[in-house]
Amino acid sequence: MADRPVVLRGARVVDPAGELDAVLDLRLADARIAAVGEDLAESGDRVVDVGGLVAAPGFCDMHVHFREPGLEYKETVGSGAAAAVAGGFTAVACMANTDPVNDSPSVTAHIRQLAEQAGLAHVHPIAATTQGMNGERISEFGALKEAGAVAVSDDGLPVGNPAVMRKALEYSRLHDLPVIEHCETLELTGDGAMREGAYAAWIGLPGIPAASEFIAVERNIALAEISGARLHIAHLSTERSAAAVRRAKAAGMRVTAEVTPHHLVLTEEAVGDYDTAAKMKPPLAADADRDALLTAIADGTADAIATDHAPHHEDEKKLCFQSAPFGIVGLETAVQLVLDRLVASGAISLARAIRLLSPGPRRILGLPGGDLRPGSPADITLLDLEATGTINPESFRSRGRSTPFAGLSLKGQVAATWVGGREVYSRNAGR
């Protein structure tokens, strides 16, 4: 199906490696970038004027929960993919904690099929590390990879038994699959609902100690070291976890890490008056942790910004704080937060932000793209750095509405999202 070639005219092309920042045309043909340069339009091309916008390689959110199969009342692959492109993400990787759990090639294939039907973002399934996510027996990594799984993870539930974790890491080498781990020590979390510390003591909520995370991070890094495997740490949230990842990288280990926008922007104080939109795992942390995470995204300790998009039904998030489920949505707020709170604030450069949102996660998962060179997929995120918008959950494509950022006015918006050489989202089109 040969679409007419498209020329995106006059975009500010920002290369994530920081080597290129110039106003150029991008010519897209056969779902690939055909050329990058000046005055590329040929006769018969469709020309789209994108003057004033930044063109970045399509963003990739390597940590989302799309809830399908089984929990469609929270989110479907279709609604999740729509949220992804509206948020500027051309690709996502979805976690395995569906019902049934994605621990079989048929579930993996089913998710890919649903994504294809939606025809919006690329949806890459992450398979369960252990069968049934029960933490006991590792899954069929080989068959799962063949069916399309890009990583394994029991995200939402940590692999508690260190012997099982060691085996998963060792076995993953056979297929070079990254093992993504939600690092948490459940015994230390106990009935905790927010981060342990002054704010929890002040409003009277049971706390989750920072050690619940960093003990697991340090343990898993040690296990990755003895097994020589690739370990990816999901949603870093504490200063000490970031330090552990930095040390592992300095020692030459194949350890990578991601940070969420909410951990980079908020602290435990956001819980306010028992606001369930500030309840997630790992919990929002202290000022010192947030500062350490900002350093981690600036100095390369963190490889990716990922949202941990975890939609829940409105009724669930309306429960009292302790009963409400952990998790907030992130796909439709992440890029705006990054542009306003991280780039405009001067914490990181635009090129680094693009790196954390595109080639960073893509490299971990072995996905194509992440640059705007000829031959790369025509997956492009267009940004309007000057436009200001207000976060309005009512307008979300996601079925989840719970966000601590509702009502926030942010400078820097997603203008349009292109996947496979086609525009799948435009801010101006309204939908």
Partner 1 sequence: MRHLLGIRGLTPEEALGILDEAPRYQDVADQPVPRVPVLVGRTVTHLFMEPSTRTQASFQLAAKRLSAEPLSFVPKSSSLSKGETFLDTARTLASMAPDIVVVRSAESGAPHVLAREIPTAQVINAGDGISEHPTQALLDAFTIRKHLGRIAGVRVTIIGDLLHSRVFRSNARLLTMLGAEVRCCGPPTLVPPGLDRLGVRSLLHPEEALEGAEAVMVLRIQHERMHASFIPTEREYYREFGLTGERLARTDNAIVLHPGPLNRGVEISSEVADGPRSVILDQVRNGVAVRMAVLAEIARSSPRSHRTDG
As annotated, the active-site residues are 308
User: Cα(297)–Cα(300) distance, rounded to whole angstroms?
Assistant: 6
- Is 407 a binding residue for partner 1 by CB under 8 A? The answer is no
Q: Are 253 and 224 in contact (CB under 8 A)?
A: yes
Q: Which stretch binds partner 1 (CB under 8 A): 13-21, 47-55, 127-135, 204-212?
A: 204-212
Q: Which of 11, 26, 169, 205 forms a contact with partner 1 (CB under 8 A)?
A: 205
Q: Are 140 and 164 in contact (CB under 8 A)?
A: no
In angstroms, what is the minimal distance from the CB of 409 to partner 1?
24
Residue ranges in 140-286 assigned as alpha helix (H): 141-147, 162-172, 186-189, 198-203, 210-227, 239-250, 261-265
Chain positions 272 to 311 lying near partner 1, rule: CB under 8 A, are: 273-274
User: Cα(294)–Cα(265) distance, rounded to whole angstroms?
Assistant: 9
Chain positions 138 to 197 lying near partner 1, rule: CB under 8 A, are: 193, 196-197
- Is 39 a binding residue for partner 1 by CB under 8 A? The answer is no
- Is 207 a binding residue for partner 1 by CB under 8 A? The answer is yes
With contacts defined by CB under 8 A, how many residues of the chain interact with partner 1? 23
Q: Are 245 and 296 in contact (CB under 8 A)?
A: yes
Helices 350-357 & 287-299 angle (0-180, nearest 10): 90
Tell me which amino acid residue 137 is: R
Q: Which lies closer to partner 1 via its Cβ, residue 323 or residue 388?
A: 323
Q: Which stretch binds partner 1 (CB under 8 A): 43-51, 163-171, 199-207, 220-228?
A: 199-207
In angstroms, what is the minimal distance from the CB of 209 to partner 1?
8
Q: Are 68 and 391 in contact (CB under 8 A)?
A: no
- Beta-strand pair 179-181/231-233: parallel
Q: Which lies closer to partner 1 via its Cβ, residue 255 or residue 271?
A: 271
Q: Which of 59, 89, 199, 405 forms a contact with partner 1 (CB under 8 A)?
A: 199
Tell me which amino acid residue 13 is: V
Phi then psi for residue 134, to 5 deg, are -95, 0
Q: Which of 106, 113, 323, 345 forms a contact with partner 1 (CB under 8 A)?
A: 323
Across the chain, how many H-helices and E-strands are there? 14, 18
- Is 200 a binding residue for partner 1 by CB under 8 A? The answer is yes
In angstroms, what is the minimal distance from the CB of 267 to partner 1?
13
Tell me which amino acid residue 102 is: N
- Is 326 a binding residue for partner 1 by CB under 8 A? The answer is no
Q: Which lies closer to partner 1 via its Cβ, residue 192 or residue 421?
A: 192
In angstroms, what is the minimal distance from the CB of 351 to partner 1?
39
In angstroms, what is the minimal distance from the CB of 277 to partner 1?
13
Q: Which lies closer to partner 1 via its Cβ, residue 128 or residue 193?
A: 193
- Is 89 a binding residue for partner 1 by CB under 8 A? The answer is no
In angstroms, what is the minimal distance from the CB of 283 to partner 1?
14
Query: Which residues lie closer than 8 Å to 351 by C-beta, 6 or more apart?
Result: 14, 15, 16, 17, 18, 21
**128-150: burial string, b at 16+ Cβ within 10 Å, e else:** bbbeebebeebbebeebbebbbb
Give the binding site for partner 1 (CB under 8 A): 193, 196-207, 273-274, 315, 318-324
